[in-house]
Amino acid sequence: MYDTDGVQKLEFVQPIRDKKKIDSIKKVLLANNVRDYCLFTLGINSGLRISDLLNLKISDVVDDTGKIRERITLREKKTNKTKDFLLNDVARKTIAEYLRNRVYEYNEPLFLSKKKSAGKAPLQRDQAYKIINNAARSIGITEKIGTHTLRKTFGYHAYKSGVSIEVIQKLFNHATPSTTLKYIGITQDDLDGVYLNLNL
């Protein structure tokens, strides 16, 4: 969604709660473009902001021997803080699959724009938005989906898998647990489910 000046409006977007829909989006993206599949998969497995995802270079994910790194260390664009985190097996395999058929130099952007006029420029945020949004629409998701959906999906599924909200709050650098709950789309129904399912 854009305003009259062509600037993307920040909308309140949702996480993708259904794991089957996540798998369907992966299939759609992989069939069309392995770069876009890698962007989506790395996004939902790292919780990075889209600005940090798009700023990644090959050297951030590949060591000087050509192996996929086990950790990524970067400086967050928004906070200017250093972030250091492990890459899980899914993320590492996806990066390897993406780079297998790509000729690259270590200082190039990981997610390269396909625009000829851009040269060796990274994929732009508006293009990432279109990629994610179009894939979601193609599998029937009607909720608002955008670039923040990747980060929110990571947080939502971390929480649902049993990671404490305080840990996710720290990962996201939020001020309060309630901010994090709201951000990752935990609804009253989710909270009510705790009471309904806990029959001691």
Backbone torsion region of residue 42, taken as left when φ is above 0, otherwise alpha when ψ lies between -120 and 50, otherwise beta: alpha
Set 35, 92, 157, 174: catalytic member: 174
13 touches 152 (CB < 8 A):
yes
Q: Token digits for 85?
A: 């985190």
102 is catalytic: no
49 is catalytic: yes
Set 17, 35, 37, 49: catalytic member: 49
Set 17, 35, 92, 148: catalytic member: 148
Set 37, 129, 159, 183: catalytic member: 183
Q: Token digits for 19?
A: 């794991």
Set 20, 78, 81, 114: catalytic member: 78
Set 92, 151, 152, 157: catalytic member: 151
Q: Token digits for 73?
A: 């260390």
In the chain, which residue ranges form alpha helices assigned H by DSSP?
A: 19-32, 34-46, 50-55, 58-61, 89-100, 125-138, 148-160, 165-172, 177-183, 188-197
In 57-176, which residue ranges form alpha helices assigned H by DSSP?
A: 58-61, 89-100, 125-138, 148-160, 165-172
- The closest of 86, 96, 89, 21 to 47, measured between CA atoms, is 86
Secondary structure element (H or E) that encloses residue 73, with its range: strand 71-75
148 is catalytic: yes
151 is catalytic: yes
CA atoms of 116 and 93, how far apart (whole Å): 28
157 is catalytic: no
183 is catalytic: yes
Q: Which residues are catalytic?
A: 49, 78, 148, 151, 174, 183
